[in-house]
A = this chain, B = another copy of it.
Amino acid sequence: MLVRDLSETDLLASFVPLLPAGRATRLGPGDDAAVLGVAGDLVVTTDVLVEDRHFRTAWSTGEDVGWRAAMQNLADVAAMGAEPTGLVVALAMPGDTPAAWVTDLARGLAAACAPHGVGVIGGDLSGGPAICVAVTAFGELDGRPPVLRSGARVGDVVAVAGTLGRSAAGLALLTAHEHDGVVPPPGTDLLTRTYRRPDPPLTAGVEAAHAGATAMLDVSDGLLRDAGRIATASGVALDLDVGALAPDVELLAEAAESLGVDPLAWVLTGGEDHALLATFPPGALPASFRPVGRVGSGKGVTLDGEPWVGSFGWDHFGY
């Protein structure tokens, strides 16, 4: 059964019942718009996943893609110090997409959202030349100011909640296996799973806000690049402690050896684990964060005081 064999009504009838109603949903799918209960200022973010660019149907199921589309947006909400409450999804896809892929996508959205009380409150389904999943997510600040990228101060501690480099390593393993037949070492399932279904520490965002985080973002383009964004926005320098990243590097060592690459590069430039990177006044670190560096005067990002001379990863429009 393909999407083009179904009317829009039929497709919606198989999709909508799979979606969770969150705790803030006042009106779910079915009318011109949904209604979300909001207590004060609302955090809003949008991100799009495009087939063959951000995912491949050969490597990720519809459920994986739904999970990832939800999580990368919920991580952006968490990175403002907000609690995610809901999301909407706009999905364009070719008529020869299996209808089961679309309901799997709904299941993946639900699996990512429901445990956090996040509702999938509305959406739009359309034809298109490739699968394109645009999610817009919402979160509550509960009266707190948002944690921006611009508030880091000299003397602050740089800290991370969540994992680094696993998604990049997982993607590299999948790519090497397909192109060069490299067999992934045993025990690397964790890495490909993180690529398919990143599991960012969503509740750590609110914890960071309560603890007085001065700046925060989620690591979507790599630790160095995203640390550089905090440095630029705050007008400070961030120095990372390579020793503090040793556990992250160690976890990737076997996979890196199998591909003949440096695992530190994955930790420093791999995004899409959607870890939270934040700065805190000394002594203020909440339990979910571990220190990885400090804020100094100047600009840019250094590693043990030295600049990084490797690549910074990819750009969204490069080929």
Judging by beta carbons under 8 Å apart, are A317 and B4 in contact?
yes
Q: What are the residues of chain B within 8 A of A47 when measuring CB–CB?
A: 90, 124
Is A123 close to B, CB under 8 A? yes
Judging by beta carbons under 8 Å apart, are B138 and A44 in contact?
yes
Number of interface residues of A (CB under 8 A): 72
Judging by beta carbons under 8 Å apart, are B130 and A46 in contact?
no
Is A8 close to B, CB under 8 A? yes
Complex: how many Å from CA A208 to CA B242? 62
Please give the distance in Å from A119's CB to the nearest CB on chain B: 10
Is A261 close to B, CB under 8 A? no
Is A262 close to B, CB under 8 A? no
Is A189 close to B, CB under 8 A? no
Judging by beta carbons under 8 Å apart, are B46 and A90 in contact?
yes
Q: What are the residues of chain B within 8 A of A88 when measuring CB–CB?
A: 44-46, 136
Please give the distance in Å from A134's CB to the nearest CB on chain B: 3
Taking each of A53, A121, A129, which has the highest tally of chain B beta carbons within 10 Å of its own beta carbon? Answer: A129
Q: Mask for A196-223, Cβ within 8 A of B = 1, else 0? A: 0000000000000000000011100000
Is A35 close to B, CB under 8 A? yes
Complex: how many Å from CA A6 to CA B53? 18
With contacts A6-B317, A33-B137 known, what are 7 further pairs, Cβ within 8 A?
Answer: A32-B76, A33-B77, A33-B80, A37-B41, A46-B134, A95-B319, A132-B132
Complex A-B: 27 CB contacts under 8 Å:
A4-B317, A4-B319, A6-B317, A7-B315, A26-B41, A27-B146, A32-B45, A32-B79, A32-B216, A33-B80, A35-B146, A46-B88, A46-B122, A46-B123, A46-B136, A48-B92, A48-B124, A48-B126, A50-B128, A53-B128, A126-B316, A127-B316, A127-B319, A128-B132, A129-B129, A129-B130, A136-B136
Give residues in A with beta carbon < 8 Å to B.
3-4, 6-8, 11, 26-27, 30-38, 40-48, 50-54, 76-77, 79-80, 82, 86, 88-92, 95, 121-130, 132, 134, 136-139, 141, 146, 148-149, 216-218, 233, 315-319
